[in-house]
Structure 1
Amino acid sequence: MKSVLLSNYGVKLSVKGRMFILSSKEKKETISPADVDQFVIISSGISISSKAIRLAMEYGIDMVFLDNRKNWARICFSNPIMTVENRKAQYIAILQGRKEFGEEIIRAKVENQAGHIKYWSRKIKREDFSQILNYTNNEATAARIYWSMIADLLPNKIGFEGRNHDSKDVFNISLNYAYAILYSECHKALSLVGLDPYAGFIHKDRSGNESLVYDFSEMFKPGVVDFTLMNMILEGYIPQIRDSLLSPDSRKEIIKRINTTLNSNVKDSEDGEVRTFLQTIRVYAMKMSSSLKGKENFRGFVQRW
């Protein structure tokens, strides 16, 4: 997936003929629609013409708007598959209190957390990752063990003491931002198979809360985000924080690294197939949709580390 970042104040995205024109005071660049999959807007003061939006939709190019902590808007071409049938099945499953979807997501999440710790135990120090697997039915306990191990693996200067959305340490702030990128991809995948991103099985339904997105993304967080950020920091790159927010350059770097991971291959322990993370996210959205209609039992995604 090729992403084009729009990050500087005064940048304008317009159209000439059938080409995008990206212009600023310093330069003007022509971009073919065939050469871009996504525009990521990470700054205010950027102008986008209606023709540019229309051309992007014609080519299935997403426009994702990120602030310092979250994905706050997305424009994408929507052509969902069997929306009414799939959403009916989803709502019925929720009303019936079917637990297998939430249970499978949590099992997969915990196994991926254990795999992630196991990876680093081979690289830099020994960690008793196996204890996490004792808590596949207790997400809170598994999470506490997992994040305490992450804290132990990270350099002390990072100041990470555990997962806390409101913490001002660089790792927590980076996690918040990187998870927003993953949520965006999960939202797209779920929407395209006709599921309601706001009606989930684990996270509570609240107005504007993408509950199913948050549920579904749990299976991919360890491999896509946690690993990528750990690798960045252990390689020596420390994102910069200004006024409790990531600096523009750090945001660009995190987007670049997460996109690289999303386009990298991962082996699925369930079927042995090798796909990119992006392909895997889409495959499991389809699997969930099929399972909701009773066509197959849902199994959560566990990667082979």
Structure 2
Amino acid sequence: MKVIFVKNAERISRKSRSGILVHFGENKYKEINIRDIEALFILGSKVLIESCAISLLSSFNIPVAIISKLGVSLLSTHMLTYYNDVRRAQYAMNDEERQKIMLEILLAKFRGFSNIIKYYGKDEPDIHYTEDLEKGNISLLLWEALNSKAYWEKVLGILPGDILDTLKARYGFEGRKPRAKDPFNKSISLLYALLYAMSLRALVASGLDPTEGLHHKTRYSTPLVFDYVEMYKPIAVHAVLKTFKSKSEKININKDGNLTKDSIEILAKEFFLIMRARIRNTRMTPYRAVYINTYRLARRIRGDEKVRYTFTYNPKKLILHDF
């Protein structure tokens, strides 16, 4: 199974019930077997996708992500999963239950960022405003934003000064901004998109409705995906940090304002190196955790308060194998 990136293509069509064709011009195309695709990423907004190709991808629950200057768009296949008791429990949750589950996911994210910061010998920030959150003085959204700002300041401090200076001089870099045009932010957004696609497929398989979120609002097409991915974001951030610390000169933006093909390949390799690494003293990998924890989350939503559904990233516990 592969994550397929499509760039500089004109059209995507269906060849048969078992494959798609990616067209690059007259009589130039690439055939891809549908069973080899885990997720399809289309870079840019000018590729035409035939409806028969979309239907085929949907029938196999293969998520399609379109990465353009406007951000990341996900084509969801949730309508292929039947309603069941998991979804009934999901729809019946009140705001207090949703916030309780989401808080644990966000705490796992911040613990993951803390582990990265400590891994590089830096002092981790404290989590603030928890008492205000418990008393209802601030919302969970504001609590997350305030703590995220503190953590991102520490994370960016891991980058060497000369790299930060170059990003500021060339691109006006000001930190983490999802729609910024610098290669660092573009790299973060690319790897987040990989996590979104994986999580969408995993959530659908577990019976959960990705359009019914815990924390993110319905202006996102699949808010539960954005909620669930929060605790895996440190993986993407660490992959980008590792890449920029060792190969920053190879991560570049092309004339269209997108990451170059070589840049994408370098980032994807670093990302999957982490995702496929075994966690010490377990049989688990971060990749497996993405899928397994959706079933655990479904159990939690159904009322099992003892199940552990969160994931905390810790680079010190990984056994890395190059591929």
Cα distance, 1:118 vs structure 2: 1.9
In the other structure, the counterpart of 1:219 is: 231
Does the CA-based 8 Å contact 2:240-2:267 persist in structure 1? no
The amino acid across from 1:214 in the alignment is: F
2:74 is matched with: 73
Q: CA deviation at 1:105?
A: 0.9
Is the deviation greater in 185-194 or in 53-62? 53-62
Partner of 1:108: 108
CA distance in structure 2 between the aligned counterparts of 1:294 and 1:17, rounded to whole angstroms: 40
Relative to structure 1, the CA distance from residue 186 to residue 241 in structure 2 (aligned partners, 3 Å threshold; closer, same or farther) is: same
Q: 2:157 is aligned with what amino acid?
A: D
CA 1:68–1:17 in structure 2 vs 1: closer, same or farther (change >3 Å)? Answer: same
1:220: Cα distance to partner? Answer: 0.2
Paired position in structure 1 for 2:318: none
Map 1:2-17 → 2, pairs under 5 A: 2-15=2-15
Query: Residue deviations 1:235-289, cap 9 Å, x none?
Result: 1234323579324426733673376247412528xxx633333321111111111
Q: Which deviates further from its counterpart, 134-143 or 293-302? A: 134-143
TM-score between the two structures when normalised by the length of structure 1: 0.78
Instruction: Supply the distance in 2 between the matched residues of 1:236 and 1:297 (Cα, whole angstroms).
Output: 43
Aligned residue pair count: 292
Are 2:238 and 1:233 aligned?
no
The CA distance in 2 between the partners of 1:196 and 1:75, in whole Å, is 10
Matched, 1:158 2:167: yes
| Residue aligning to 2:186 | 173
Structure 1 range deviating more: 46-55 or 274-283: 46-55
Structure 1 residue ranges without an equivalent (≥5)? none
Q: Summarize deviations over 1:87-126 as a string: whole Å, max 9, x none.
A: 221233234545420221121111100111122x1xxxx3
- Give the deviation of 1:172 after TM superposition: 2.4
Give the SS at the match of 1:246: coil
Bigger shift: 168-177 or 286-295? 168-177
Alignment identity in percent? 23
Contact 2:128 2:147 in 1 (8 A): yes
- TM-fit CA distance, 1:4: 2.6
Seen in structure 2, the aligned counterparts of structure 1 residues 293 and 58 have a Cα distance that, compared at 3 Å, is closer
- In structure 1, distance between residues paired with 2:57 and 2:88: 31
Structure 1 residue 15 displacement after superposition: 1.0
Which stretch of the first structure deviates more once superposed, 154-163 or 109-118? Answer: 154-163
Q: Is the 8 Å Cα contact of residues 21 and 30 (structure 2) preserved in structure 1?
A: yes
- What aligned pairs does 1:37-186 form with structure 2 within 5 A after superposition? 37-57=38-58, 59-74=60-75, 76=77, 79-80=80-81, 83-119=83-119, 121=120, 126-129=121-124, 131-132=125-126, 134-135=127-128, 137=130, 139-154=144-159, 155-156=163-164, 157-159=166-168, 160-186=173-199
Alpha-carbon spacing, 1:282–1:178, altered in 2? closer, same or farther (3 Å): same
| Partner of residue 213, structure 2 | 200
Instruction: Give the letter aligned to residue 198 of structure 1.
Output: T
Q: Is the contact between residue 243 and residue 267 of structure 2 (CA under 8 Å) also seen in structure 1?
A: no
CA RMSD of aligned residues (A): 3.3
CA distance in 2, matches of 1:166, 1:59: 31
Which residue is 1:301 aligned to? 311
